[in-house]
Amino acid sequence: MIHEFKQLLEAATLWHDKGHQLVLATVVALEGSSYRRPGVRMLLNDQGEAFGAVSGGCVEKDVHRQAKSVFQTGKPKMMQYDGRIRLGCEGILYLLLEPFIPQSSLLTLFEKAWQERKSVEILSSYSKVLGEHDSLGSIFAYGDIQIPLGPMGTTIDSKALLYSQTLAPVQQLYIFGAEHDAVALCASAHQIGWEVFIVAAPDEQKSKSFFPGCSQLFTPLPDAVDTHSIDDQTAVILMSHSFTKDLQYLIALRNSRPAYLGLLGPSHRRERLLSSFLERFPEIDSSFLDLCYGPTGINIGAESAQEIALSIMAEILSVTRNSVPHPLRQKSGRIHE
Residues 187 and 161 in one domain: no
Residues 104 and 206 in one domain: no
- Given this model, what pLDDT does residue 336 score? 64
* 2: CB partners within 8 A, 6+ apart: 114, 120, 167, 168, 169, 170
**Angle at which helices 180-191 and 305-320 pack, to 10 degrees?**
50
236 touches 258 (CB < 8 A) = yes
DSSP string, 203-259: GG---GGGSTTEEEEE---GGG---TT--TTEEEEE--S-HHHHHHHHHHTTT---S
Examine residue 333 and state whether it is found in any structural domain, yes or no. Answer: no
- Given this model, what pLDDT does residue 324 score? 87
Residues 162 and 272 in one domain: no
* Domain end point (choices 144, 167, 190): 167
- How many CB atoms within 10 Å of residue 285? 11
42 touches 100 (CB < 8 A) = no
Residues 142 and 287 in one domain: no
Examine residue 327 and state whether it is found in any structural domain, yes or no. Answer: no
Examine residue 335 and state whether it is found in any structural domain, yes or no. Answer: no
Residues 73 and 177 in one domain: no
One digit per residue, the tens of pLDDT, for the chain of length 337 reads: 899 999 999 999 999 999 999 999 999 999 877 777 899 999 999 999 999 998 877 788 999 999 999 999 999 999 998 876 555 556 889 999 999 999 999 999 999 999 999 999 999 999 999 999 988 999 999 999 999 999 887 778 888 999 999 999 999 999 999 999 999 999 999 999 999 999 999 999 999 999 999 999 999 999 899 999 999 999 999 999 999 999 999 999 999 999 999 999 999 999 999 999 999 999 999 999 999 999 999 999 999 999 999 999 999 999 999 998 888 888 776 676 6
Q: Residue type at 58? A: C
Examine residue 332 and state whether it is found in any structural domain, yes or no. Answer: no
Examine residue 38 and state whether it is found in any structural domain, yes or no. Answer: yes
- Given this model, what pLDDT does residue 329 score? 84
Examine residue 337 and state whether it is found in any structural domain, yes or no. Answer: no
Residues 264 and 299 in one domain: yes
Q: How many domains does the chain have?
A: 2
- Given this model, what pLDDT does residue 34 score? 72
Residues 207 and 132 in one domain: no
Residues spanned by the domain of 144: 2-167
* Domain end point (choices 137, 167, 197): 167
Residues 312 and 188 in one domain: yes
Examine residue 336 and state whether it is found in any structural domain, yes or no. Answer: no
- Given this model, what pLDDT does residue 85 score? 59
CA distance 196 to 193: 9
Residues 124 and 177 in one domain: no
* Domain end point (choices 120, 140, 167): 167
CA distance 82 to 111: 37
Indicate the burial class of 24 (C-beta count within 10 angstroms; 0-12, 13-18, 19 or more): buried
Residues 53 and 161 in one domain: yes
| Angle subtended at Cα 290 by Cα 298 and Cα 220, rounded to the nearest 5 degrees | 85
- Given this model, what pLDDT does residue 58 score? 79
Examine residue 334 and state whether it is found in any structural domain, yes or no. Answer: no
167 touches 8 (CB < 8 A) = no
Residues 304 and 265 in one domain: yes
**Angle at which helices 104-116 and 2-17 pack, to 10 degrees?**
150
- Given this model, what pLDDT does residue 86 score? 57
- Given this model, what pLDDT does residue 1 score? 86
- Given this model, what pLDDT does residue 90 score? 65
CA separation, residue 316 to residues 14, 126, 138, 176, 237 (Å): 33, 35, 32, 16, 10
Residues 116 and 66 in one domain: yes
Which CATH number covers residue 266? 3.40.50.720
